[in-house]
Amino acid sequence: MDVKTVCLGMLSDGEASGYDLKKEFESSFGHFFAAGYGSIYPALSALADDGLVACEHVPQEGKPDRKVYSITAKGREHLLGALEDPAPSHRIRSEFLATMCFSHLMTPEQIETVLDSRVAETAEYIELFRELETCCIQDMHPGERFVLGFGKAVANAVFEYLETHRHLLHEADTAPARRSAGG
């Protein structure tokens, strides 16, 4: 499943422009499937070339023209095919965890900075999820609610783990051999 397929899925819910889809990627899909304009616009062009979406030009006054895409019958069929994968992947690519593996080569200040930035990003996601929950949950399909809950559960687990275990990264670095005498 690539950006094309996700765009197609988004369009199965109603027509939209590339700009609209980008906003949807930022708000609800961003935490598990990021995409920028450089992926979205070519994806929509390719979908149109394959006849999976139809494109309607909408001239606007004062603003640039919109290209509004809507899914076709063929596109719907194709989407159902893509959803047949019995074991879709779920991959993490974490420079953060890779960095932490080598924390013994870093200064305590560096470690704290890295942890703080990770905590901050996690907190931002938690806040975003809270907003989505209060404003849009009634418009969501059950699947989207499930995915939102998944994001929340993981983000909360990460947040709690970071705060309760970050001290582990400093122990044994400062006083590795001084453990014997007075506790």
User: Can you give the binding site for a second copy, defined by CB under 8 A?
Assistant: 1, 5-6, 9, 12, 29, 31-34, 79-80, 83-106, 110, 113-114, 117-118, 121, 141-147, 149-151, 153-154, 156-158, 160-161, 165-166, 168-173
Q: Kindly state the smallest distance separating residue 147's Cβ from a second copy, in Å.
A: 5
Q: Which does 37 bind (CB under 5 to 8 A by kind): a second copy, DNA, none?
A: DNA
Instruction: Kindly indicate which of the ranges 33-41, 111-119, 143-151, 166-174 contains the residues binding DNA, using the contact rule CB under 7 A.
Output: 33-41
Contacts (CB under 7 A) with DNA, residues 53-112: 60, 62-68
What does the alpha-carbon distance between residue 183 and residue 178 come to, in Å, rounded to a whole number?
Answer: 10
Q: Which does 165 bind (CB under 5 to 8 A by kind): a second copy, DNA, none?
A: a second copy
What are phi and psi for residue 60, nearest 5 degrees?
A: -130, 150
Q: Which does 36 bind (CB under 5 to 8 A by kind): DNA, a second copy, none?
A: DNA
Q: Which does 41 bind (CB under 5 to 8 A by kind): DNA, a second copy, none?
A: DNA
Whether the CB-CB separation of 154 and 146 falls below 8 Å is answered with no
Six-digit token string for 41: 């616009």
**Under the criterion CB under 7 A, does residue 12 sit at the interface with DNA?**
no
The nearer residue to DNA, 7 or 111, going by C-beta atoms, is: 7
Placement of tokens 């369009």 in the chain = 11
Residues in the chain: 183
What does the alpha-carbon distance between residue 132 and residue 140 come to, in Å, rounded to a whole number?
Answer: 10
CA 94 from chain centre, in angstroms, equals: 13
Q: Kindly state the smallest distance separating residue 35's Cβ from DNA, in Å.
A: 5
Q: Kindly state the smallest distance separating residue 32's Cβ from a second copy, in Å.
A: 4
Burial of 92 (0-12, 13-18, 19+ CB in 10 A): exposed
**Under the criterion CB under 7 A, does residue 124 sit at the interface with DNA?**
no
What does the alpha-carbon distance between residue 4 and residue 52 come to, in Å, rounded to a whole number?
Answer: 10
The nearer residue to DNA, 19 or 161, going by C-beta atoms, is: 19
Buried b (16+ CB within 10 A) or exposed e, 154-170: ebeebbeeeeeebeebe
